[in-house]
Structures are given as C-alpha cells and as structure tokens.
C-alpha cells in the first residue's frame, strides 16, 4: 500500500447501525485506490447512501476502522475534519442545494467556504455553469430549476474545487441518457486528473460506460468481494482500462 499524502481510503470491518436498529452495513472492508473509478451498486435500501455518508464524513461507523488520505478519520478530533471534507466533492442523492442561493452561488459555495477570493472564482464558476449547460440559468434559484437542472448544479458544485475524491449518490437519476453520459464523461475527465471517483447507482447500463471502473456491490449491507480485489487492490499498473475491472455479473 502507498503511504503518500494522497493515499486512498480504507474501510476495515466497518459496521453501521442507526440507533438500536439492526446493522445497515456489516463487515464492510475495502480499499479505494487513489485515481480509480468505482461504481457502487445494490438494490434500494442495500445501504449505498449509508456507505457514502461514511465516505464523505457525515457519519461515524458503529464499529470498524476508516482511514482516509493516510489518516485514521475515526479518532480524528472534530475540528480537524473540515480540512478533510474540503478535499472531497459530494453529490447528494437529494442534491441539498441552498434554496435561497442562485445556481451560481450554489456552485461557488465550496470555493467560498475554502477562502477563494471573489475575483478568482467568477471564471471557474461561469465555465462550470457553461459546461453543465446552465449558463442561461446562472441567477435562477433551485426551486425554479427542473430536477435534472438541480442535479447538474449539484454536480457542478461537487467538482468545482477539483476534489481528491468525488462521491456521487445517484448523480444521473434525474437526467436523460444523453446528459447522463455527458456527466459521466465529466467524472471520467476528473478521474483522469487523479481524482478518485465513487458513483452509487442502480443503473446497470451506466456501469458498462466506464470500462476502467471497478464495481462494488452491496447486498443487504454486505459488500460482495468474491475475488478480494476490493479489499486488496491490484497494483496501479494492473488497473488500466480493460484490466482488473470487476464485471457486475461475474
């Protein structure tokens, strides 16, 4: 395993339960190799969103260990977590756009939170709006945007800061197949620049669109890893397109 600063994410026997209910995630162990592209699939209620919440540091697991970028984030004091969150880009399943901010301001939010000067953020935000095809809706508030438009704003907000890891929960659930493909290409472009990408989806057609991707399948809170490749990822050289990608039906 690498020990550099950009070391990926490792889950070790992670379990999660809400309150006193049964565990919604059990014995989840895997390593996200930096710069790889992962799909997380599974039936509705299998625990995809729950797993992503652990990934984007919104939730602590009930048991197990999680290391992120070379640090044990479970024992990390609260006040050190924001620095880690700023290295992530998150597309929430329910978008979570700030209702009284325009599309422009929503996309600019991560940059403003991390102290980018106003003069420096106009161009990236404008470019990003153009790229997701929403230049004409820059001043629109989320309530006046269609579901697909909101989703694109949410994606733009997640990728604007060029995160070390992008976590997207059903990011193409509300757009037509063409737009879905376009957004997937955005994720791939980001991935080629070194961002680890994790996309949760139950759209099996999407999986085939990114040949280099690795598939993580959740079934009732358990991660199936028959070959052990998720737990002990192959060397980076073995993870080039066409190699080592786990087909969903093997």
Partner 1 sequence: MKKPPTLGSKTVRGLNPFGGEQAAQLVPHTRLAGPVPWVIAIMVALTVIAAAGGLAMSNVASNARAELAGGATVQIIEASASERNRQAAIAEQLLAEHPTVASVQRVSDEELNTLLEPWLGVGANNNEAVPVPALIDVRLREDITEGNLNTLRGLLASAAPAARIDAQSSWLGPIFSALSSLQWLAAALVILLGLTSAAAVWLAARTALGTNHDTIEVVHLLGGTDPQIARIFERSVGFDAILGGAVGLALGLVAILVLGGQFEQLGSGMIAGGGLGWVDWLLIALIPLAGVAVAVLTARLTVMGALRRML
Q: Work out whether 60 is an interface residue with ligand ATP (CB under 6 A).
A: no
| DSSP strands (E only) in 75-129 | 88-91
Could you tell me which stretch among 37-45, 69-77, 96-104, 190-198 binds ligand ATP (CB under 6 A)? 37-45
226 binds, among ligand ATP, Mg ion, partner 1, none (CB under 5 to 8 A by kind): none
Q: Select the span of 44-52, 72-80, 119-127, 241-249 touching Mg ion (CB under 5 A).
A: 44-52
Residue from 36, 49, 150, 196 binding Mg ion (CB under 5 A) = 49
Q: Which of 45, 34, 44, 43 is nearest to 6 (CA)?
A: 34
24 Cβ contact partners less than 8 Å away, ≥ 6 residues apart: 16, 17, 18, 47, 50, 221
Our finding on whether 86 is near partner 1 (CB under 8 A) is: yes
Query: Is 60 among the residues that bind partner 1 (CB under 8 A)?
Result: yes
65 binds partner 1 (CB under 8 A): no
Q: Hey, which residues between 69 and 108 contact ligand ATP (CB under 6 A)?
A: 93
Asked if 41 interacts with Mg ion (CB under 5 A), we say no
CA-nearest of 30, 42, 40 to 226 is 30
Is 24 one of the binding residues for ligand ATP (CB under 6 A)? yes
**Count of C-beta atoms within a 10 Å radius of residue 200:** 26
* Structure token digits, residue 115: 């102290």
Scan for tokens 């002990």, then name that residue. Answer: 232
Rounded distance between C-alpha atoms, residue 47 and residue 23, angstroms: 10
Stretch that binds Mg ion, among 6-14, 89-97, 129-137, 232-240 (CB under 5 A): 89-97
Q: Does 34 bind partner 1 (CB under 8 A)?
A: no
Question: Does residue 50 touch ligand ATP according to CB under 6 A?
Answer: yes
What is the closest distance, in whole angstroms, from the C-beta atom of residue 235 to partner 1 in the complex?
A: 26
Per CB under 5 A, the segment of 42-50, 206-214, 228-236, 242-250 that binds Mg ion is 42-50
Tell whether residue 50 is a contact of Mg ion (CB under 5 A).
no
Identify the bridge partners of residue 199 per DSSP, sorted by sequence position.
39, 168
Residue with smaller CB distance to partner 1, 33 or 92: 92
Residue with Cβ nearer ligand ATP (69 or 92): 92
95: phi > 0 → left, psi -120 to 50 → alpha, else beta; which? Answer: left
Contact between 173 and 22 under an 8 Å Cβ cutoff? The reply is no
Provide CB contacts within 8 A for 20, sequence distance 6+.
none
Contacts with ligand ATP, residue ranges (CB under 6 A): 18, 24, 42, 44-50, 93, 202
């Amino acid at each position: 395993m690498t020990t550099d600063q950009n070391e990926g994410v490792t889950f070790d026997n992670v379990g999660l339960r809400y309150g006193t209910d049964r565990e919604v995630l059990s014995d989840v162990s895997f390593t996200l190799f930096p710069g790889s592209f992962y799909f997380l699939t599974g039936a509705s209620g299998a625990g995809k969103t729950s797993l992503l919440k652990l990934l984007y540091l919104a939730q602590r697991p009930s048991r197990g260990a999680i290391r992120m970028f070379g640090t044990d984030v479970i024992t990390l004091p609260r006040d050190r977590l924001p620095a880690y969150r700023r290295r992530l880009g998150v597309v929430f399943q329910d978008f979570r756009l700030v209702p009284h901010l325009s599309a422009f301001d929503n996309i600019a939010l991560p940059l403003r939170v991390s102290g980018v000067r106003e003069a420096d953020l106009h161009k990236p935000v404008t470019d990003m709006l153009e790229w997701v095809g929403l230049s004409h809706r820059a001043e629109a508030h989320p309530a006046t945007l269609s579901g697909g438009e909101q989703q694109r704003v949410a994606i733009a907000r997640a990728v604007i800061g060029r995160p070390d890891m992008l976590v997207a929960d059903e990011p193409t659930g509300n757009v037509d197949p063409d737009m879905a493909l376009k957004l997937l290409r955005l994720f791939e472009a980001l991935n080629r620049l070194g961002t680890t990408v994790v996309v949760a989806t139950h759209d099996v057609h999407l999986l085939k669109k990114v040949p280099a991707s690795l598939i993580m399948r959740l079934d009732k809170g358990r991660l199936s890893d028959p070959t052990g490749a998720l737990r002990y990822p192959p060397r980076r050289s073995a993870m080039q397109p066409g190699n080592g990608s786990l087909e969903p039906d093997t």
